[in-house]
Amino acid sequence: MVKTPRVRAAPFPTRDQIATFIRESETHVGKREIARAFRLDADQKVELRRVLKAMENDGALGRERRRFHPGGALPSVAVIEITGIDTDGETTARPFNWAGGPPPLICVMPEKRSRSAYAVGERVLARLRASPSGAYEARVIRRLTAAPDRTLGVVTRVGEGTRIVPVDKRARSEFLLSPEAAAGAQPGELVWAEVQPGRPLGLKQARVVEKLGSTQAPGAISLITLCDHDIPHEFPADALAQAQAAGPAALAGRIDLRAVPLVTIDGEDARDFDDAVWAEPDGDAANPGGWHLLVAIADVAHYVRPGDALDRSALLRGNSVYFPDRVVPMLPAALSNGWCSLVPGEDRPCLAAHLWIDADGVLVRHRFERAMMRSAARLTYRQVQAVHDGRSADEAVRLPMIGPLYGAYRALARARAARGVLELDMPERRVRLADDGSVATIELRERFDSHKLIEEFMIAANVAAAEALEERKAPVMYRVHDQPSREKLESLREFLETIDLRLPRGQVLRPRDFNRILARVEGRPEQRMVNEVVLRSQAQAAYDPVNIGHFGLALRRYSHFTSPIRRYADLLVHRSLIRALRLGDGGLSGTGEDFAKVAEHISGTERRATAAERDAVDRFTAVYLAEQVGGVLPGRITGVTRFGLFVTLDETGGDGLVPVSSLPDDYYQHDDKAHCLIGRRHGLTFRLGDAVEARLVEANALTGGVILELMGSAGASRSRSRGRSQPPRSRIPARRR
C-alpha cells in the first residue's frame, strides 16, 4: 500500500500580511477567503479566527474593517432590510439580522416596472452582486414584510418601568420599552424606535433602533424637528470636499460690474446673502419716468454642476430650512456663507438681470449677463427704512443709491396695484434667542416698505427670467399658483355670509375680489379671522414645468430665479438661462424632460420645510410659555374643530388647543361652514375670530403642544338662527357625567 505524502501547511501569515490582503482585495472578504489565499489547514483556521478577533478588538484592522466581515462575502441571494435613501437618491439596505462589524453597503437597483417605494425597515429577498468598490448591488426578487411602524420619541421613566413618549403631538399613545429592547438608551434620550406587534389592548412595545442624543443638549429642539420631518442635515463627504475645494471665479468671460454700487438688503438675522440690487432713472427719452434696475444673484451654477456631488445633495434637500437657532442649508457653508454669499467688498461671480420698467412699473425689456460684482454694503431692512424716512444718524448707511431704489419701488408698487395682487395680512412670529440659547422673546416681525421694495425687485427679476426662457423655447421651472377650487370658494362664501360679507357669484374671481373683502374688515375685530379664512381658501403654490400662471401675484408667467443658494428651482432656472443665452459653462444638461419629476420632488421638500419651520417655532414657543403655566393670557379663536378650539395668543402668536371637554357643560354642534361650536342646550357659541381669555394648562416643548382652558364662558355668544335651520353636523358632549 502506497502512502500519500502529507502536505505541509503553509506558513501562518503575520497580522500585517492579513491586513494588507484585506486592504488590497477588490471585494469584501471573510475568514474563508483569507484561509484560501494563504492555504491554511484546519488547525491554522482555528488560529486565524483567534487572530482576526484580536485584530478587531484592538483596532488593528483600521480602515480595512470596511472590507472585512466575519461572515465572509454575502451570498448571491439574501434577505436584506431597507435602511433609507442616500444623497444620490438611491435606496440603501443592509443584510437582515447582521451581526459583527459595520454592515456592507447595499444599493437597491430601481425596478423597470412601476412599484411603490420601499420603506425603511421593510425586508425583501434580493439577488446580490458585489461591485468593484466593495459595495453590493441588489435586485429585488420579492417583498417579504411591510415596514414596521416607526416613532420618534423620548425615553422616559414612568413608575418602575420605561416608556417612549412620541414627540409628534398627534400621537395618541406612548410605548412600553423593555430593558433588552432599549439598546442602552437612557431616560431623556431622543430615539428612533420600531413599534412591535402586540395585543390590541393596552400599550404596545417598541424597540430602539437609533439613539440621537439627549433632549437637554443645545439645539435639541431643532434636532427633534429635523428628525421628525426626515430632513437631511449632514452633507456627504464628497459634497463637503467639493465645496471646500472651491475658489474664486475668474473675471474672464464675465461683465465687470464691480464699479456699480450694488447692495444687499436683508433682515438682521439673515444667514446668507444671495441677491443685491441697484437702480437709476432710465436715460432713454423713449421711456420718460422709467427706471433701470439691476438685480444681481450669486452664480451658484458656476460652483454646482449638473450631476456632481454638490448637485446631488442639493437636489435631495430641495431647499434650505430655517429654524430660530440654526439654518439647514441646501449647500455647504463653504459656498452658502462663502463663495456664493455676496459679502461686502469682495469679488463674487453673479448672474445679473438688467430690467427696464416704465413710469408705471411695467417691465419694458430685460437683459441677462454673467458678471463679476462687489457688494458696496450689507444693509438691513430697518437701516434702509430709517435712512429713507430721514431717521438714521448712521453715516455708514447714508448711501446715494437708496433714493433711486425707492423711486423704482414706487413705480413697481403702481404696477402691483394695477394688477390687483392678493394682499393678505398674516403676521409672522419671530423667536429671539438669548446668548445661552434660551428663548428671550417671541414677537411679530415688523414690516417696512424696505421689505416690499426687495420683494418687488425680486418679482420683476423672476418674471423676466420666465420671459427670457419662453422667448427662446428653453425649459422653465415655473412657480405656479392655481385659482381656488370651486369647493373652497363655496365654503368661503358660506362663512362670509355669517358675518354679512358677500363674495361675487357667477363670475371668474380675481385677487382684487378677495382684496375688497379684506378691505372691508380692516381695523375690525374680524380682520385677522377673515385673512386666515381667505388664505385657507387659496390653492397651494408649487413648481411645475407647465405654466398655469400665478393667481396670487396676478401674473401670467412666473419663475424663481433669485435664491439659488437656498432653492433648487432657482438653480435650474439659472442653468437653463446659461444654456439658452450661451453664457458659458454650468448650463442645463439634457432637454429638461425630467423637470416634471424634479418639480414634484422640490414642491414636496418645500412643503416639508414649511411644516418643519412652523413646528420648530411652536416648540420654541412652548419652551417660552412653560414658565407661564397657570397664567391667564388673551387670545383669539383661529380654528374650530369638532374636538375643540384653537386659540392664538396675542402676545406670542403661539397656538393652543382648548379641548371640547373643557368647555362649559353642554352638547356641542360643530358647524364647519360657519366655523363655530354651538351649545345645543344653552346656545353658547364659540366662533372663529372671537376674542377670549384662556388659562395656560400645559406647554410641552418636545411636541410643541399647548393646552388651554377658557375662563368661564369668555368669548362665547348666544346663538342666533339668522332665520334658517341647519341639521347638526356632529354632536360632541362636553362632559359625560
As a whole-number percent, the residues of the chain with pLDDT over 70 amount to 86
Is residue 46's pLDDT more than 90?
A: no
User: Is the fold of 77-145 the same as that of 629-733?
Assistant: yes
Q: Which residues pair with 384 in a beta bridge?
A: none
pLDDT at residue 60, as a whole number: 59
CB 188 within 8 A of CB 155: yes
Q: With bands split at pLDDT 50, 70 and 90, how would you rate the model's confidence at 29?
A: low
pLDDT at residue 647, as a whole number: 93
Domain ranges of the chain: 15-66, 77-145, 150-217, 237-482+542-613, 486-537, 629-733
C-alpha of 290 from chain center: 39
Torsion of CA 339, 340, 346, 351, to 10 degrees: 130
- b/e map 132-155, b = 16+ CB within 10 Å: eeebbebebeeeeeeebebbbbbb
pLDDT at residue 113, as a whole number: 52
Residues near 90 by Cβ (< 8 Å), separated by ≥ 6? Answer: 107, 108
- b/e map 391-429, b = 16+ CB within 10 Å: ebeeeebebebbebbbebbebbbbbbeebbbbebeeeeb
Helix, strand, coil tally for the chain in percent (to 5): 30, 25, 45
Strands 691-699 and 632-641: antiparallel
What span, in angstroms and rounded, lies between the C-alpha atoms of 459 and 409? 11
Is residue 590's pLDDT more than 90?
A: no
What span, in angstroms and rounded, lies between the C-alpha atoms of 647 and 635? 6
Element (H, E) at 165: strand 161-166
What span, in angstroms and rounded, lies between the C-alpha atoms of 617 and 483? 30
What span, in angstroms and rounded, lies between the C-alpha atoms of 438 and 60? 45
What span, in angstroms and rounded, lies between the C-alpha atoms of 133 and 136? 8
pLDDT at residue 592, as a whole number: 76
Q: Which residues pair with 78 in a beta bridge?
A: 126
Comparing 531 with 170, which gets the higher pLDDT? 531
Q: With bands split at pLDDT 50, 70 and 90, how would you rate the model's confidence at 309?
A: very high
Q: Which residues pair with 190 in a beta bridge?
A: 154, 213
DSSP secondary structure letter of residue 539: P
Is residue 149's pLDDT more than 90?
A: no
Cell 437609533 identifies what position? Answer: 210
Of 7-11, 167-171, 379-383, 646-650, the range with the lowest mean pLDDT is: 7-11
Is residue 182's pLDDT more than 50?
A: yes
Q: Which of 566, 9, 39, 641 is nearest to 271 (CA)?
A: 566
Of 248-252, 394-398, 490-494, 579-583, the range with the lowest mean pLDDT is: 394-398
CB 694 within 8 A of CB 708: yes
What span, in angstroms and rounded, lies between the C-alpha atoms of 140 and 209? 24
C-alpha cell at position 149 = 411602524
Q: With bands split at pLDDT 50, 70 and 90, how would you rate the model's confidence at 16?
A: confident
Q: Is the dihedral of CA 149, 150, 153, 156 positive or negative?
A: positive
DSSP secondary structure letter of residue 29: B
Q: Could you tell me how many residues make up the chain?
A: 737
3-state secondary structure 101-146: CCCCCEEECCCCCCCCCCCCCCEEEEEEEECCCCCEEEEEEEEEEC
pLDDT digits (tens, 9 = 90+) for 691-723: 899 999 999 888 899 999 998 755 566 554 433
Phi, psi of 46 (to 5 degrees): -65, -45
pLDDT at residue 731, as a whole number: 35
Question: What's the rounded mean pLDDT across residues 16-29?
Answer: 71
- b/e map 454-487, b = 16+ CB within 10 Å: bebbbbbbbbbbbbbbeeeebbbbbbbbbbbeee
Q: Is the pTM of this model over 0.85?
A: no
pLDDT at residue 147, as a whole number: 59
Cell 371668474 identifies what position? Answer: 508
C-alpha cell at position 565 = 443658494
Q: Which residues pair with 151 in a beta bridge?
A: 193
Is residue 278's pLDDT more than 90?
A: yes
Radius of gyration of the chain (CA): 31
Structural domain 77-145, CATH architecture: Beta Barrel (2.40)
Residue type, 294: L
Is residue 506's pLDDT more than 80?
A: no
Cell 465572509 identifies what position? Answer: 72
Q: Which of 272, 318, 274 is nearest to 299 (CA)?
A: 274
Q: How far is CA 608 from CA 145, 349, 536, 566, in A?
A: 28, 31, 18, 14
User: End-to-end CA distance of the chain, in Å?
Assistant: 101
- Fold of domain 150-217: OB fold (Dihydrolipoamide Acetyltransferase, E2P) (2.40.50)
Q: Indicate the CATH number for domain 629-733.
A: 2.40.50.140
What span, in angstroms and rounded, lies between the C-alpha atoms of 528 and 673? 18
CB 388 within 8 A of CB 406: yes
What span, in angstroms and rounded, lies between the C-alpha atoms of 200 and 529? 42
Residue type, 318: G
Cell 348666544 identifies what position? Answer: 718
pLDDT at residue 726, as a whole number: 39
Residues near 267 by Cβ (< 8 Å), separated by ≥ 6? Answer: 380, 381
What span, in angstroms and rounded, lies between the C-alpha atoms of 592 and 598? 10
C-alpha of 267 from chain center: 20
pLDDT digits (tens, 9 = 90+) for 314-355: 999 999 999 998 999 999 999 999 999 999 999 999 999 999
What span, in angstroms and rounded, lies between the C-alpha atoms of 470 and 452? 27
Q: Classify 454 as helix, strand or coil.
A: helix
Is residue 101's pLDDT more than 70?
A: no
Residue type, 305: R
Phi, psi of 296 (to 5 degrees): -110, 130
Is residue 27's pLDDT more than 70?
A: no
Q: Which residues pair with 433 in a beta bridge?
A: 439
pLDDT at residue 683, as a whole number: 85
